[in-house]
Structure 1
Amino acid sequence: MKQLLIYEQPLALNRLTHRHLRIKPVPTNYAFARGLNSVPLTTTEFAPAARNYPIVFTGDADKASMPAVLLGLLRDDNLFVEDDSQWAAQAYVPAFLRRYPFVVANQETTGEAAAAAFTVCVDMPVVTQSDDGIKLFEDSGENAPALEHALGFLAEYQRAAERTQAFMQQLRDSKLLVTKTIRVERAGTEPHTLNGFSIVDEEKLQKLGGKALEKLSRTGALGLIYAHLMSLGNVSLLSARFDTRSAALKH
């Protein structure tokens, strides 16, 4: 899964070069995410996300790299973006989408230092020099409120992503993951499959020894695993949303 799924042309911000740069008032809609059937998730989001989506892990079992939520049953199809481009009511919106149009540039360093000092990018399609745009920098060169808020959100996201990678390493080390495929069959349509992801194998989890379980529990990984397992029941909710939308399109 590419980290820049929703970004067309990220521009690395520079307070000197881009002193007078502004961004268009971004409407509170998610049209930019309409073609995504999954997005990355951090472990801090497991609890709210597990109420609405199946949580899976991208990649095959031995190389799984990141948790993700499934948003649709077809490739390039998001069941949670409504006709008016709003997110489905009461459904949790993943932080990966909420940080748009800002994103952090790829960086070599990790840890707290990286979370405190990073290069911020903004997606070029929202950039404007119009006076009605939202300032990113004050005339003095200091961060304007919009950028300051984005910096705080991105720093928090980076810290959560670091913790998430530690959790993923535990999963790989514990050999708990199994590659999974979902077969989708609907009347009147060709069967198709969703693949490229893994889930925790409950049988393997039950066979873990006491020390291994104690370690997962001590780090908080065990609770995250159970949240993931419970969330898999939401595949039926995706199916229901798919059927409801398909029925509406026929009328």
Structure 2
Amino acid sequence: MTQLLFYERPVPLNRERHLTTRLAVAGDHFRFAAKTNAVPIASTEFLDAARDYPIVFVGEADGPISVAALVGLRQAENLMVDDEGRWAADTYIPAFARRYPFVLAKTDTEAESQQLTVCIDETYPGLGVHEGESLFDDQAQESEYLQRILGFLQRFHAEVQRTTAFAQRLRQMGLLVPKTIQVERHGQQQVLQGVWVVDVERYRGIDDARAVELFRSGELSWIEAHLLSLGSLVRLAARLDLYSKASADGETLDPTSPPPDTPKH
């Protein structure tokens, strides 16, 4: 199976293998996401995510391009997940993370096809047979809980496909430009490379027909949300300050506290 971000041992969901399996949300549920500074995101999430995260395009100049929400400014560090595996309070959680431990993925036998299989990460500590939501009922049919999960996975997959097409369209229009993100805090500089953003001047210069097309498709609001989200870099840097100070003092940042206010300039 293709290696997947966050998933250690994803296996196809199987009625026989998982007939009695139950899922209870573990107290440290989001520990799986603690070692990443970017989470893939779908365009339908832009408006919600823009309030908390910078939304950027990622990819090589001549390769596939996707969209991600920055959740950290240093490699292998998610500023939104604390040492107890809890996501920061009152912040948007991307669907990519909310779907865990489930995922739609290609198995080895499906590598050359478009078929996807529902898989589950069997290393997730919330899986068991005594507590939590049942995946299958007494007749070995999908439980209502699992049916809701499957619907969510299918909708998210469709949204990701649409987002990929959207990102590719922006690149074909010449609106995306490479961006090196530099954040300096207290004499230390954090640098992120390999990201792309919409060039404001090129965007404002598109012709009326294309502007109307983007408006009718709803993609105009996605671009605006992306541009607005870049202001969240300051909030992310402020959170890095809190984590760095807590680490230096030997403390743990309480994720139940609201995110830091944007510093005044």
Q: Please state which band the TM-score falls in when normalised by the shorter chain.
A: 0.7 to 0.9
Q: Given that residues 23 and 135 in structure 2 are in contact (C-alpha distance below 8 angstroms), is that contact kept between their aligned partners in structure 1? A: no
TM-superposed deviation, 1:70: 0.3
Q: Deviation per CA, 1:163-182, whole angstroms, max 9, x where unpaired? A: 21231232122110011111
Deviation of the 1:63 alpha carbon: 3.8
By how many angstroms is 1:82 displaced? 2.5
For 1:11 and 1:22, the matched residues in 2 are separated by 13
Q: What is residue 94 of structure 2 aligned with on the other side? A: 94
Secondary structure, aligned partner of 1:185? strand
Structure 1 stretch 222-231 or stretch 148-157: which is displaced more? 148-157
Alpha-carbon shift at residue 147 of structure 1 (Å): 1.7
CA displacement, residues 224-246 of structure 1 (integer Å, 9 cap, x when unaligned): 10110010011111110011121
**Structure 2 counterpart of 1:237:** 235
- The 1-side partners of 2:184 and 2:128 are apart by 49
Q: Contact 1:200 / 1:225 at 8 angstroms: preserved in 2? A: yes
- Tell me if structure 1 keeps the 8 A contact 2:214–2:220: yes
Q: Take 2:210 and 2:247, find their aligned partners in 1: how far apart are those partners?
A: 50
5+ residue gaps, structure 1:
none
The TM-score with structure 2 as length reference comes to: 0.82
1:27 alignment counterpart: 26
Q: How does 1:127-138 map onto structure 2 within 5 Å?
A: 130-132=129-131, 134-138=133-137
Question: What is the distance in 2 between the residues matched to 1:24 and 1:35?
Answer: 23
Question: Which ranges in structure 2 are unaligned for 5 or more consecutive residues?
Answer: 250-265
- Alpha-carbon contact 1:60-1:178 (below 8 Å) kept: no
Structure (1 or 2) with the greater helix fraction: 1
Task: Give every structure 1 segment of 4 or more consecutive aligned residues whose post-TM-superposition deviation is greater than 6 Å.
Answer: none
Partner of 1:165: 164
1:125 and 2:123 correspond: yes
Query: Once the 2 structures are TM-superposed, how far is the Cα of residue 250 of structure 1 from its aligned partner?
Result: 2.3
SS at match of 1:159: helix
Deviations 1:4-63 (A, max 9, x none): 211101101222x32535145231531111111010000110011000000001113554
Aligned partner of 1:250: which letter?
A: A
Q: What's the RMSD between the two structures over aligned residues? A: 2.3
- Residue aligning to 2:255: none
- How far 1:134 sits from its partner (Å)? 4.3
Cα contact 2:137–2:143 (8 A) shared by 1? yes
> Retained in 2: the 8 A contact 1:57–1:66?
yes
Counting matched residue pairs gives 241
Matching of residues 1-251 of structure 1 within 5 Å: 4-15=4-15, 17-18=16-17, 20-28=19-27, 29-61=29-61, 63=63, 65-106=65-106, 108-109=113-114, 118-126=116-124, 130-132=129-131, 134-187=133-186, 189=188, 191-251=189-249
Offset at 1:64?
5.3
Which stretch of structure 1 is more off in the superposition, 64-73 or 234-243?
Answer: 64-73
Q: Give the 3 Å change call, closer, same or farther, for CA 179–21 of structure 1 in structure 2.
A: farther
| Identical-residue share of aligned pairs (%) | 43
Shift of 1:152: 1.6
> Could you tell me whether the CA contact under 8 Å between 1:61 and 1:198 is conserved in 2?
no
- Decide whether the 8 Å contact of 2:9 with 2:123 is kept in 1: yes
Q: Is the 8 A contact 1:178 1:199 kept in 2?
A: yes
1:100 CA drift (Å): 0.6
Secondary structure of 1:149 counterpart: helix
In 2, distance between residues paired with 1:155 and 1:161? 10
